[in-house]
Every structure is written in structure tokens, then in C-alpha cells.
Structure 1
Amino acid sequence: MASGTTLALDLIAFVVSILLFLRVNKWRMRKGLCLPPGPPRLPIVGNLFGMPRESSWLTYTEWGKVYGDIISVQVFGQAVVVLNSAKVARDLLEKKASIYSGRPTIPMFELMKWSWFEMSNTYSAKWRLQRKMLDRGLRPSAAVHYRSMEKDKVHRFLKQLLSRPKEFLKHIEHLQGAITMSLVYGYDVEEENDGYIKLALDTNEIGQRTMLPGSVIVNDLPFLKHLPEWLPGMGFKALARVGEKLGQEVVNRPFTLVKSNMQLGTARRCMTRENLLEAEGTHVSNPEEVDLAIAEASASVYNAGVDSTVSAISTLFLALILHPDVQATAHAELDTVTGGQRLPDYGDRSQLPYVEAVCKEVLRWRNVAPVGVPHATTDDDIYDGYIIPKGTTVISNIWAILHDPRVYPDPDKFKPERFLMPDGRVKEDATLTAVFGFGKRICPGRHLVESTLFIVAASLMATYTIGKAKDPQGNEIPVDGTYTGATILSFPKEFKCSVVARSNKAEELIRKDTWGNAAA
């Protein structure tokens, strides 16, 4: 016989399900209006059992072939609308940004107390303050001040590849962590197992696997967060405690370091220091509140920056392994510009259109965040005859947008030349900006990502040849090119490769003490 507690839980679940079911169906009763089409739904639970848990972008793309560029699913009455084309995404997320710039409530983030994370915050006064701080530190004019630092980190990366080429994935992770920590906090990462990088990676791992609809059960059944932890299926609560602790450390630990260095007069130029100095100059009446806003804005960049570009640089390596002809063309262009006598620099960017096209194709071919970060409607909307109710989760399927054969013929092929005009100049491509999101929620660090990827790609291909690794018998080790698909960011699954200096001169350039001066 069932216990009283079990019966009570069943009753709660049943009542909540009915209420949600009725909430959704009120839209169906509006004459001529319904949600966008989508796969068949079961009563009450909707598409609960059909929601993709792995590589959701591929499932959404296949559904789009059947139901169109705008589709919908439901889980216990909560509508999720997926946008599968650039036109629909722009029509809604940009032209109607005033009602499509919200973020869905993420019950797991509420449990972890992640209100500090700008990327998931709803459109509000707090978010606008955070965004202002991020834009100040990440705009192109500000990024110029950090170019010397970036080159220093990239040079160290080239040396690491020379001494331990088999650990290239670890070096990529260290490179991006070092750039992010220096940019945001003025902290120089020396050790590859640095605690600050590990902290960000651990925090990201939890955030990525608990953000999307269907990723954890409490996101689909929010009432579960009110139930006791000892009940079966409540394991997400223990994970939430870990996430809360990590989040507090991410916000406070590096921020406190900057504040301490400022008091000592040793703080380097960085985004956090500049925002603190700006706040001091405006004589704010609530310094503690402003400090918290700066700490949270910095933590958002810290967290987002450590992981995202790692995926893009890893994809660069993979693309060069699988497409030696692309690498050969880039080598020739780089040698024409540098003469093989120096490392390429930011000033060479306009003279390296093919290298630039390689970077663009890396971002398009294997998107860092294939479904982006979900938006949410803050009011009812009608689009193309469909109702999109207030509170709907809206997902832009960036993978589908950047693999649309109507825009990119042979979308699964890695073809940098698709971004070049007949005269060899780089082609402007408005669709590619989808990789950074849409509207008011577009990634504030997009300019930094593009410049970092360029200097890494140009420096790497100027000095190294990337190829397939070989086993002890001399046979090439196959590379299947598969990607992870369970979190909001997608990474190449671990692969092996050969990293060999192109020439004695290239090795000499790598071993120099600085970007331009030979070692004594």
C-alpha cells in the first residue's frame, strides 16, 4: 500500500500537470491562433519523452525539415519555440527585441543562486548595468589595450606546443584561461593547473549541463525544488549546493584579489580595475552595490571566456588535420606577408584574407554554442499567424542557421573560400553573426573572440604544420571529428594530432623571448 507521502506527491504532480495543461490550451481556444507546428504531443506531458538529450540542434534541424523554420514543443504546458532560420530569428529576436530579450527562468539556476550570471539574467535594470560594464571593457577600442598581453600568451602557447605537442588540448585550455584571467583580473596564469582556471572550468561544467530545457528534471518540473532532498530523484539538490559554492567563489575570489592589488598599488590594467576606477570617479552613493555589480559582471566574462574560445581553437586544429589543402593555402599566404621571417601581427589582418576566412569558417562549420542561450518572451506575440505566449522559451538553432544550404551550399564541408569575394577580399556575411547570438543579448565579447581566434590561427599556421598523429607502426591514427552534445557548448571529442615546426626558422621564431626580439 502506498504511503501517505507518496500519495500526496502524486496528487501534487497531478494537480500541477492539469493546471499547466489548461494554461496552454487557453491559447488554442483563441479563434484562429495556435502555437507554431511541431512533433505530436501527448496529453498533459506534451513532448516530455521526445525532447532531445544529446545534440538537440540536430533534432531541431530535422524537425525543421518537416514542420518549417519556426517550430514548437511543449513540456507540461511550457511552450518552447525553436527558430531554424536567420530570417525568423532576426524577425523576432532583433526586430521585436523589446519582447524577446528576456531569459527563461531556470529552476536549477535559482537553486544554485546564480543571479550573478549575466548570460542568464532577465532583461532588467540589473542586467543593463552589467551589460554597460561588459561593453565598456570588451568594446573594440578597449580591446586594443590588451593586444600585447594576448600576443604574449599566444607566444607562450607556441612554446608549449614545441616542448609538449601531444598535450595540445591542455595547452589550448591554458591559453584561453590565461588570456581571460589577464583581461578580466590582471592576473598572470603561470601554471597549467592554475586554481583560477580550474574554478572556472568546474563552474562552467555545472552551468552548461543544467541550463537547457530537459537537462535536469527540475527545469521541467519546477515544483520539485520545494520537495525534500531525501526523496528519490532529488539528486539535483546536491548538485545545486556544489554549484552555489562554486558560484560564490567565482564571483568573490578573483574580485577580492583585484581589490587587494589596487590597495597595494600593484593592480594591472584589466576590466575589473577599470570598472572600479570608473565607479570611484562617479562618487556613487551605494559603493557596496556597485562593487557587487562589478564582481558579478567580471565573473560572467571570466566564466564565459574560459571555455567558449577553447572550442573554436580546438575546431581549428581539427579542421587543419582533416583539410591539409586549406593549411597549405594558408601557409602560402602567411609566407607572402611575413616572408617567413617574423610572426604575423594584428596589423597584417587585412593582408591575410584567407586566414581570416579560415577563422570565419571555423565559427560557422562547428558552432561553439549550437543552440545559443535561450531567450524568453516578456509579452504575448503573434508571428506569421501563430501565437507565441508570454513566458515562452525561444531557442535560436544557430546550427541550422549556419548550415542552411540556401545560404551556405554544401554546409557540412569546410570551405573557407565561401567567405571570399572573386577579387580575394573577405566577404561581409551578416548571417555569420548568428554565432554570437541576436539582438540585445548578442555576445558582448564577440570582437575579442574574433581577434583572439585570428592571432592564434595566424601564429599557429605561420610556425607549425598540423597533421594526423601516427601509431608506433607508423600508421596514421584516424580522426572521426565527432563532437560532444550534452551541454550548451559543444567541443570536439578528444583526438590526437601531429604538431611539427614548419622549418628551422619557424622554430627560431617560437623560441624567441618576445614576439619580435631574438633571445640573447
Structure 2
Amino acid sequence: MDEGPSFTKYMLENDNFHGLTEDELAGLAGTFFVAGSETTALAICTVLLAAACFPEEQAKVQAEFDAVIGKHRAPTFADQLSLPRLQAFISEALRWRPLLPNGLPHRATRDVIWENYCIPAGTTVIGNHWAISRDPEFYPEPHSFKPQRWIDDRGCLRDDLNLPIFGFGRRICPGQYVANRSVFINSLLVLWAFQLTPDSTMPLDDMGLINGIPNDRPYPIDFKTRITEMELRSMMRNYPEVA
């Protein structure tokens, strides 16, 4: 296997240039791994959880798949712009159950005056994702699961409605584009290939993923193939070259 680029290797070889200690470099490398793996995996799980909890909305997404993709080829990133309902479903799932409901702490670097409030330099400020995502001014009926809220009258994704899940300002998550693509393609492939339903023998806890920390609690969801296993194996054998 050819050796690919390594951020950590680059930083170690250029440590004097960047002025970071060995401990700081180790922390930086660890942050890349933790921030980019567990949170993305939990986001994907949240989308699948929403699909099991809201079968009517799942069916609408799968109807879009059948119209745009069909069942004779595997979907790819090339289909993304043609799948607004899936993207709306993902956005609504992450609004419905934000991974970090309390957000992450920030610190004011200077005095800030905002709407008659003085926020002194050094103050810790937290943007509460749960409260923001339930503001009825922006999300009418905020406690209802409504992917349609993300779609305009033309059937396109709205560009005036956003989610705070990646943070704010200069400290917004730099990995948001990679994370969005990972969540999109994994959600697309799973929901295209399977119909998800809650396991009738065990209750499904729809609040269990919102702390952003993996746990060993089972999430009983049944996966039923929408395409025969033989066809799936055939299509995925050369994925994505033939898509």
C-alpha cells in the first residue's frame, strides 16, 4: 500500500516551525481523531434512529430514492443535489436530537455589548443547541419532527435555515464539510438498501444519543432489505466505480 499524507507526521517533522510542544501535538492529533469519528458515527446513528421512529417520513425519503436512483444501481455522491428530501431528513434528525444539546463553551476575547447586555472579556459563553433548535420563531412546532420545514415551495432545500450543530464564528468546526459528507453518504446507502423499524420486543430510547458520548445501551432496530441480498452484493462489489 502506498503511504498517504499524514497530518501528524507533518506536524512532528515541522514542530519547530509551528511552536507546539510534544504534548500539544499529541493533543492536537487526538482531537482530530475523537472529533472526527465518534461524533460522526453518533450523527449517523441519530439519522437511523429518526428513520425507525418516524416511518412515514422514512417512506417519503425512500420514495425519493426510488424516483431518482431506482433499485438497479447503488447511490453515490453524484446523486446528492437530486435528493433534497434526504438532506432535509438529516437536518431535521440532527435538530430533533442534537448530539451536544448544551453546546461547547467559548470565551469572549474582548468586551462585547449585545442588545443592552455587557459581556466582559474572559466570560464563558455557551450557545445552547437544544434551546436554539427549539426556537419557534425559526422552527414552528419545534417539538414535532417535520423534515418539510427544510424544503421551500419549489421543492429545494432552504438556504435561510441553519443548524448550530457545528458551533459558531471563528471556532466553528473545521471538519463540518467532511462530517456532512460522511453522514450523507452513510445515511443514503443504509436507507436506500434497508427499511428500518423498531424492534417490537424492546423499547427504543429516542433520547439516548444526545449527550455525544457512545454507550453500550442497545438500540433495537430491525433492518429489512428493500433489495435482495444477491443484488446488493452484486452492486456493491464494484462500488462506486460502476455507479
TM-score normalised to structure 1 length? 0.42
Residues 273-422 of structure 1: pairs in structure 2 closer than 5 A: 275=10, 286=16, 289=19, 292=22, 295-422=26-153
Deviates more, 1:350-359 or 1:294-303: 294-303
Residue type of the partner of 1:440?
A: R
- Distance in 1 (CA, whole Å) between partners of 2:181 and 2:241 is 23
Aligned equivalent of 1:468: 198
Distance 1:268 1:481, change over 3 A: same
Q: 1:439 to 1:287 in 2, by over 3 A?
A: closer
Unaligned runs of 5+ in 1: 1-264, 472-476
Paired position in structure 2 for 1:459 = 189
Q: How does 1:496-515 map to 2 (within 5 A)?
A: 496-504=220-228, 507-510=230-233, 512-515=236-239
Aligned length: 239
Q: Which amino acid aligns with 1:269?
A: P
User: In structure 2, how many angstroms separate the alpha carbons of the residues matched to 1:507 and 1:325?
Assistant: 27
In 2, Cα distance between the equivalents of 1:372 and 1:481?
A: 19
Are 1:314 and 1:491, in contact at CA under 8 Å, matched by a contact in 2? Answer: no
Aligned partners of 2:108 and 2:124 also within 8 Å: yes
Match of 1:298, as an amino acid? A
Question: Given that residues 76 and 240 in structure 2 are in contact (C-alpha distance below 8 angstroms), is that contact kept between their aligned partners in structure 1?
Answer: no
Distance in 1 between residues matched to 2:169 and 2:95, nearest whole Å: 19
**For residue 166 of structure 2, what is the aligned residue in structure 1?**
436
What is the rounded CA distance, in whole Å, between the counterparts of 1:496 and 1:383 in structure 2? 46
**Could you tell me how far apart the structure 1 residues matched to 2:71 and 2:136 are?**
38
In 1, are the aligned partners of 2:99 and 2:209 still within 8 Å (CA)? Answer: no
CA change 1:269–1:336 in 2 (3 A) is farther
Structure 1 residue 409, shift from structure 2 partner: 1.0
Distance in 2 (alpha carbons) for counterparts of 1:408 and 1:285: 46
Match runs of 1:173-252 below 5 Å: none
Could you tell me which amino acid in structure 1 is paired with residue 117 of structure 2? Y
Tell me how far apart the structure 2 counterparts of residues 411 and 507 of structure 1 sit (CA, whole Å): 42
Deviations 1:156-215, CA, capped at 9 Å, x for gaps: xxxxxxxxxxxxxxxxxxxxxxxxxxxxxxxxxxxxxxxxxxxxxxxxxxxxxxxxxxxx
Shift, 1:287, TM fit: 5.8
DSSP 3-state at the match of 1:344: coil
**Partner-residue secondary structure (3-state), 1:435:** coil
Q: Amino acid of the residue matched to residue 338 of structure 1?
A: I
Pick from 269, 289, 311 the counterpart of residue 5 of structure 2.
Answer: 269
Q: Secondary structure at the match of 1:459?
A: helix
Shift of 1:328: 1.1
Tell me: CA distance 1:345–1:438, structure 2 relative to 1, closer, same or farther (3 Å): same
Residues 425/384 of structure 1: CA separation in 2 closer, same or farther (3 Å cut) = closer
- Structure 2: distance between partners of 1:288 and 1:399: 37
Higher normalized helix content (fraction of residues): 1
**Residues 370 and 397, structure 1, Cα contact 8 Å, conserved in 2:** yes
> Is the contact made by 2:15 and 2:21 (CA closer than 8 Å) also made in structure 1?
no
Q: Deviations over 1:349-389 (max 9, x none)?
A: 01111111111112211111112210112333333333323
Structure 2 Cα separation of the partners of residues 301 and 502 of structure 1: 36
Tell me by how many angstroms 1:289 deviates: 4.7
Higher-Rg structure is 1
Percent sequence identity over aligned pairs: 33
TM-score scaled by length of structure 2: 0.85
Secondary structure (helix, strand or coil) at the match of 2:125 reads: strand
RMSD value, Cα: 2.8
2:206 corresponding residue in structure 1: 481
* Inter-partner Cα distance in structure 2 for 1:516 and 1:394: 44
**Is the contact made by 1:375 and 1:394 (CA closer than 8 Å) also made in structure 2?**
yes
C-alpha contact 1:419 1:429 (8 A) present in aligned 2:
no
Residue deviations 1:103-146, cap 9 Å, x none? xxxxxxxxxxxxxxxxxxxxxxxxxxxxxxxxxxxxxxxxxxxx
Return closer, same or farther for 1:496/1:316 CA change in 2, 3 Å cut-off.
same
Give the C-alpha shift of residue 482 in structure 1. 2.3
How far 1:469 sits from its partner (Å)?
A: 1.3
In structure 2, distance between residues paired with 1:490 and 1:303: 11
Moved more, 287-296 or 396-405: 287-296
Question: Within 2, Cα distance between the matches of 1:461 and 1:302?
Answer: 27
Deviation, structure 1 residue 324: 0.8
SS in 1 for 2:113: strand
Change (3 A) 1:305 1:411: same
